[in-house]
Structure 1
Amino acid sequence: MLRSMYAGISGMKNFQTKLDVIGNNIANVNTVGYKKGRITFQDLLSQTSSGAMAPTGNRGGVNPVQVGLGSQIGTIDTLHTQGFRQTTNHPLDLQIEGDGYFVLQTPNGRAYTRAGNFNLDQDNNLVSADGYYVLDSNGQQITINNATSISIEKNGSIIITNDQNQPENIGTIGLAVFSNPSGLEKIGGNLYLESTNSGAPNLTNPEENTAGSLISGALEMSNVDLAEEFTEMITAQRGFQANTRIITTSDEILQELVNLKR
């Protein structure tokens, strides 16, 4: 069989995966704190017909003769660039302007997120949309009792007006910083887990260790650019079509070879 047919098959499969990544990005264009994915390709193995030869006294060098055997997926990256801001004016909605991640306590351990749409539960604990506890800079739950008003400063300080109409600082929202955020593992629900390549989380205060500052009354939206995604979609579609054309052309050549017997 022709090598070009198998190369075309590998290209089709890879462009289908590219469309899967693009489709997921577009589906999450309005997801709070979502970080878009990006796929890159690599060439597959090459079949060597003749190797390279070094120059000799009476003859120059010769380059290797190789035929490529298709493509493969190189990486599927998560791009942790800053997302767009959406103003909500809700005091418990928080946006991170920097590299940090909110720290949540889940039933299975700690998880990390950029989605800052928080609320208070029945026991006045600060929780995420799924009810996971938001942790402070000491890794403890945040409880807000007897508050007539709440404000959160850029440095993460939680200032309340207590029942005696006096301002009170009850703690600081913690942020985690990773040496390699792209190494974090997505588990759904806007959550990330530490992985063996993300580095250990450094729990810190906002405005320290590149964690960034907090913006109260706003949310970080997805960093997906629809214009870019639609452009990539067209590129993937044409690439898929071109690889199908390779297969049909290879099939026509094989048909001609079969017809030689007649």
Structure 2
Amino acid sequence: MSGDIYIAAAGALSCEKRLQIISNNLANANTAGFKMDQGNLRQISPAEVPSQGAGDPGDLAASRAHLFWNNFSVYTDHSNGPLKQTDNVFDLALNGKGFFCVQTPDGVHYTRKGDFTLNSDGVLVTGNGWPVLGEGGEITVQNKENPRQNAKFSVDGQGNVAVDGKPVDTLRIVDIKEINQLSKAGDTLFKPPAGGLTEAKAEDVKVSQGFIEMSNVDSVKMMTEMIEVLRGYESYQKVIQSADKTYSQAISEIGVL
């Protein structure tokens, strides 16, 4: 295969990957707590690029294309999204750096999606039913004097939880220093690496009750990027088609000779 086709194919594949990322971002533009992803092509030094030797030029082009493709990575933008007022007492939003801690069957995961609710046992849980953790573990919201009567649930700016005016726990809100080591477990949950990571108590964060943090996706910007990527993809396709046509003609002419 020609060098032109290898290089153009690598470019087209990177465009496809970026389109997948953009499409997923747009699909979650209205998902509370969603953090958008971005594609990144690491800058490659001249020393890393294979040089021309005695081998097949096509193999050289393939090696170069492979190098560029393998240096394309995806990272998550953890910037804050806008807050939306809901007036639901179980909706909680974080303003600043930090994550809520959630107990899942696979261990503790982290989230910024604060549209919580109560399960049948009166435990504060996520929409998936996973318990939201306080410093003392699961948080139970229950009127102890009259379990059938709804308890008054309140959370202050520091994450202190009170039920019927009595303190019961403090939300476990953590700051992750190695934030780039987190990986997505679904659209709004993040899981730590197998070796774990370092949690620190979030200091520069405020809890807002009756609010949820919305997605940090800028739909207009994403649509603009999509148009640019589509144009780039079309350009790479034209290069591939042109190179293929040229080499097909050359092969035909050689066959005639």
Task: Assess same fold via TM > 0.5.
Answer: yes
- Once the two structures are superposed, the pairs formed by residues 76-91 of structure 1 within 5 Å of their partners are 76-91=74-89
Corresponding residue for residue 203 of structure 2:
209
Moved over 4 A (4+): 42-45
CA distance in 1: counterparts of 2:183 and 2:36, whole angstroms: 13
Which residue identity does 2:158 align to in structure 1?
A: N
Corresponding residue for residue 250 of structure 1:
243
Query: Which is helix-richer, 1 or 2?
Result: 2
TM-score (norm 1): 0.82
CA distance in 2: counterparts of 1:100 and 1:222, whole angstroms: 15
List gaps (5 residues or longer) in structure 1. 51-65, 162-166
CA distance in 2: counterparts of 1:77 and 1:233, whole angstroms: 18
CA distance in 1: counterparts of 2:50 and 2:122, whole angstroms: 66
List gaps (5 residues or longer) in structure 2. 54-59, 144-149
Does 2:162 correspond to 1:159?
yes
Which residue identity does 1:48 align to in structure 2?
A: S
Corresponding residue for residue 135 of structure 2:
137
Q: CA deviation at 1:174?
A: 1.2
Corresponding residue for residue 96 of structure 1:
94
Other structure's SS at 2:134 match: coil
Indicate if the aligned counterparts of 2:113 and 2:212 stay in contact, CA closer than 8 A: yes
Indicate if the aligned counterparts of 1:113 and 1:191 stay in contact, CA closer than 8 A: yes
Other structure's SS at 1:4 match: helix
Post-superposition Cα deviations, 1:62-90, rounded to whole Å, max 9, x if no partner, equal: xxxx9893331421000100011111000
Corresponding residue for residue 173 of structure 1:
171
Q: CA deviation at 1:197?
A: 8.2
CA distance in 1: counterparts of 2:103 and 2:189, whole angstroms: 11
Provide the alpha-carbon RMSD of the alignment: 2.3
Corresponding residue for residue 57 of structure 2:
none
CA distance in 2: counterparts of 1:141 and 1:23, whole angstroms: 36
Query: Which is strand-richer, 1 or 2?
Result: 1
CA distance in 2: counterparts of 1:244 and 1:189, whole angstroms: 32
CA distance in 2: counterparts of 1:142 and 1:42, whole angstroms: 44
- The aligned length equals 236
Identity %: 27
Corresponding residue for residue 111 of structure 1:
109
CA distance in 1: counterparts of 2:233 and 2:24, whole angstroms: 18
- Once the two structures are superposed, the pairs formed by residues 10-159 of structure 1 within 5 Å of their partners are 10-42=10-42, 46-49=49-52, 69-70=64-65, 71-72=68-69, 73-138=71-136, 140-146=137-143, 148-159=151-162
